A and B are shown apart, each in its own frame.
Chain A
Amino acid sequence: MSRQTVEFSITAAERLNETLNAFLEIDREGALRRAEEIEKAGAGPLTGIPIAIKDNLCVKGMQASCGSKILGDYRPPYNATVIDRLVKAGAVVIGKTNCDEFAMGSSNENSAFGPVRNPWDTTRVSGGSSGGSAAAVAARIVPVALGSDTGGSVRQPASMCGVVGLKPTYGRNSRYGLVAFASSLDQVGVFAREVEDVARVLGVIAGRDPMDTTSADVPVPDYTAALTGDLKGARLGVPRALFGKGLDDDIKSSVENAINVYRDLGVEIVDVELPTADYAIAAYYIIATAEASSNLARFDGVRYGFRAEDAPELRQMYRKTREEGFGAEVKRRIMLGTYVLSAGYYDAYYRKAQQVRTLIKNDFLKAFERCDALITPTSPTPAFPIGEKADDPLAMYLGDVYTVTANLVGVPGISVPCGLSSERLPIGFQLLGPYWSEPMLLKLSHGYEQGRPFLERPPISAS
């Protein structure tokens, strides 16, 4: 049984990859071997479940390019902790998925290996940065996939591909073996078509890991037990001010409909205010680039990956390697991060952004005094055409308006499919909850899913 399921996924991945470019590596032989071993080993919570992993998470023996030329065919000699836990639970990793280089991007166009194409319309982006994982789940290649979310990189592609995507509370999952982009914002997240699968996988990967000092020693509940279907008495906060300019009409009406569905399910709807939310993108792009400029200093052509030729002197080798190895967006962010941290600018930018982060956090904690979760759109627009924003980085950043706050504050967020636009492109709403409120977010998402199941299939689909 395991072997058949896994073989189906591998064959689908191979067949659809020419169209979608969702996978950077498909491990047919290894995955089938592991499926057979697991069949013999017996039952675990995820036995025989084929799973796809974003290419910035380390899986022993498989590549970890992070979508970058600078890591090329680097093969890490160890598993990320979340991978160890998945494998122990019986899951079978079938391949590594395409992503924006070092998870920097919102469209997957920043991958050194070409953009992922959206299974709903292959002329459009998948969203990003975990676009390959989102597309692989949407196209029914795998039932579940892992990504990473630094400013929306799980939730936004989930919404653009029509699947569920969860970013847990900061510290819920171990980051050991996740290639660092912005360490105070990064968190491993889960994609699936159904909320119950997200709950199941989160229960396996979550929890304290001595190898990651920021993983919190907080008990892991049975997340599936939260999926009761009874939403009566829950309170949902609506930050109306965020439903204004720049929001696509179809998305606005879909999310308004979702709010009405919740009302019908017995959820109380309250208005909330987040006065500093408008400043989130500015604070985010200072903090994220500052941390990235530091984290990416390790890619220097010495210990792993690519090294430029014809550089007879050490510093010259560093500079040429990084110039040739990194793509444009990564270089731009390293430059921006270096600038905001450089002497004379630190207080004006980095310190200021961290102060604003405190204000945003206070706004959210205050809003959560009045409700169990907030509801917003996940992305202001559906998937846009490939190339549309390629020359305008700021325009691309502004699309992250609904998602970056969860990473700045450290709270969990989930994107749930809630319909299609007039052009038949998926739309998602986002729920944001207080620290450790994953059970409530999953319960609310599951309740919606039961009331309004998203049954549409994309034109590019394995089944």
Chain B
Amino acid sequence: MFMIFGKPAPLLFGQLLLGIINGSFYAMLSMGLAIIFGLLKIINFAHGAMFMIGAFVTWGLLNYLGINFWFALVLSPVIVGGLGLVLERTVIQRIYKLDILYGLLLTFGIAQVLQGVMTNYYGSSGVSYNAPDLLSGVLNLGFMYLPVYRGFVIFAAVIICGVTWFLIERTKLGALLRAATENPALVQSFGVNVPRLIALTFAGGVGLAALAGVLAAPLYSVNPDMGSELINTVFAVVVIGGMGSIGGAILTGFALGIIEGFTDVFYPPGSAVVVFVVMAIVLLARPAGLFGKLA
């Protein structure tokens, strides 16, 4: 058998693919965080909870209302986005003028409340959600068996990341958003409703988290801790990519997924820390992150 570094090549190709799948989630979540931080300067610690709520809403839509995965893909982000909108208007907007740490504390508290409520109702083992029949098979790629659904996740993540990046970086709406954060007063004077724009941005960011939650529901058990387990890694991704850099978040997300995948083969107990080791090294060399600009 063809070997690389003492490991069979098919195994490494398999890990590469799995790394890309995990990277898809890192990319989707860190992108939403980067948008919210870049435009609102809020370190949204409730992002993982929104991801978790997105997965639970998907499960609830099917179990209480009989609405399937494909509709949930649209409905769940809209519902969670709505929740984000309410949160932004009622609570979060009150702290824009305060130090950045208050936002961190507030959103951390919101995350704890959401997690506690879900644990109370659904237990910590969570509930299960099956992939739609259309995507339930297994593909034999020669070097590994790839569940069709996981292939779909990569495909969906690339499209979601691409479209979001394009919207923010290449359209008039995106330009407006970026201008509003640079100089809200000036943009307001052009007749743009800046508070509404910011609220919608927050809703859009958490909607992205919910969308990732929908995609994650069939992969992992839907449980109240699923977001908090992921969020630390995702924050490391954002820091490595450069706070607020959307393209950086996407690329770093995929790259770290792959690094983590290879760690699983060469030294499994280290897979939980490798991301943070990379973060420490990057911060030493480039304090603003790989794609960030120093203020």
The answer to whether A and B come from one shared complex is no
Which residues of A are at the interface with B, using a C-beta cutoff of 8 A?
none
Which residues of B are at the interface with A, using a C-beta cutoff of 8 A?
none
